[in-house]
Amino acid sequence: MTSNTALAPAVESILETARERPGGDERVDVDSRSLPEALERAEADGRVPVIAEVKPTSPTAEGTREADPVDLAEAMVDGGAAAISVLTEPSHFGGSTDALRRVREAVDVPVLRKDFLLREAHLDVVEADLVLVIARFVDDLEGLVSAARERGFQPLVEVHDGGELEAALEAGAAIIGVNNRDLARLEVDLATFESVAPHAPEDVTLIAESGVSSPADVRRMRAAGADALLVGSAIMDHGADHEVDVAANTRRLTTATATAETTHDESENA
Ligand SMILES: O=C(O)c1ccccc1NCC(=O)[C@H](O)[C@H](O)COP(=O)(O)O
């Protein structure tokens, strides 16, 4: 499904480089770690299911974090992350497939390959437990979802509105991420998840992506039906001019209970 509505210049540029990137020559087959089971384990332990993202930089980040991806991922797991997402897009996010490979070897939770995959050959580059497939950017969504599954990947299909949710479901998606970031202006609005989530069937694993930065945001997304939260910037803290404690940043979100009795004027965002 491709859409003609406007995209931010940074996203146009990301897509242009993605179209030019070669795929692999040999088919990748993976014995993947189950995301739904990892989310259940987190819930059983009393942790909010968080997919913590190794995101060195991004078009909206204030800086770049040069830390070793493996150190970051291990700190995220220490902080209670149920799964890890690793950016592999090199030109705009500072990611690499090598970082993903090393992270997946180092941790025992599921690892998502976060990239802009447009065609089947793009799957055949590196093993991961999950691959992101962005509904808006893929011409043959059903074909790419099936191709990912045939290789053993769990496809996480990203949507931004009701039409894309419908397309994801028609393509057979079982894990769906609702991105709160609008790709036209790159602004985040948590109301996006709240408006799309009620239309998703119960048996879909539903993930709230982008813009979750505080325990209050976690509770808001959980109350709206998120089975898990995908969080990058708030954990990476790109602009910080002090040493960043990635484990503590993760823990602050994984310990945000869904039913905290707080009032609006409490400084939840601190
Ligand atoms: O993060 C960006 O600046 C960005 C810009 C253009 C396209 C995609 C972008 N982000 C990809 C993501 O989906 C996020 O990395 C992910 O959902 C985590 O979001 P956040 O917690 O807000 O960093």
Q: How does pLDDT run across 42-61, given as a tens digit for each residue?
A: 999 999 999 999 999 999 99
pTM over 0.90: yes
- Ligand 1 is surrounded, with C-beta below 6 A, by 10-11, 53, 55, 58-60, 179, 181, 183, 186, 188, 209-212, 230-234
Centre of ligand 1 to C-alpha 183, Å, is 9
Protein residue with its CA nearest to atom 13 in ligand 1: 210
In this prediction, residue 137 carries a pLDDT of 96
Helices of type H across the chain: 9-20, 35-44, 69-78, 90-93, 97-106, 141-150, 162-170, 191-196, 215-223, 233-236, 246-254
Centre of ligand 1 to C-alpha 111, Å, is 17
In this prediction, residue 2 carries a pLDDT of 56
**Cβ count within 10 A of residue 259:** 8
Centre of ligand 1 to C-alpha 210, Å, is 6
In this prediction, residue 261 carries a pLDDT of 42
Protein residue with its CA nearest to atom 9 in ligand 1: 58
Protein residue with its CA nearest to atom 11 in ligand 1: 210
Catalytic (active-site) positions? 53, 55, 114, 158, 179, 209-210
Percent of the chain with pLDDT over 90: 89
Query: Residues 209-216: what's their mean pLDDT?
Result: 98
Among 158, 181, 233, say which to mutate for ligand 1: greatest number of ligand atoms within 8 Å of CB. 181
121-135, 179-193, 255-269 — which is least confidently predicted?
A: 255-269
Q: Contact at 8 Å (CB) between 102 and 74?
A: no
In this prediction, residue 232 carries a pLDDT of 97
Protein residue with its CA nearest to atom 19 in ligand 1: 210
Question: What does the pLDDT look like over 147-204, one tens digit per residue?
Answer: 999 999 999 999 999 999 999 999 999 999 999 999 999 999 999 999 999 999 999 9
Q: Contact at 8 Å (CB) between 5 and 136?
A: no
Of 30, 23, 25, which Cα lies nearest the Cα of 127? Answer: 30
As a whole number of angstroms, the distance between CA 84 and CA 100 comes to 10
pLDDT > 50? residue 264:
no
Which residue in this structure is represented by tokens 């897509």? 15
Which region holds residue 32: left if phi is over 0, alpha if psi is between -120 and 50, else beta? beta
Query: Residues 68-88: what's their mean pLDDT?
Result: 98
pLDDT > 70? residue 269:
no
Centre of ligand 1 to C-alpha 267, Å, is 25
**Ligand 1 atom with the shortest distance to the CA of 158:** 13
As a whole number of angstroms, the distance between CA 182 and CA 185 comes to 6
**Ligand 1 atom with the shortest distance to the CA of 60:** 3
Which residue in this structure is represented by tokens 């074909």? 143
Query: Residues 210-228: what's their mean pLDDT?
Result: 98
In this prediction, residue 5 carries a pLDDT of 73
Q: What is the mean pLDDT of the chain?
A: 93
In this prediction, residue 270 carries a pLDDT of 44
pLDDT > 80? residue 252:
yes
In this prediction, residue 1 carries a pLDDT of 59
Local confidence band at 239 (pLDDT 50, 70, 90 cut-offs): confident
Tokens of 197: 């989530």
As a whole number of angstroms, the distance between CA 18 and CA 140 comes to 16
In this prediction, residue 268 carries a pLDDT of 47
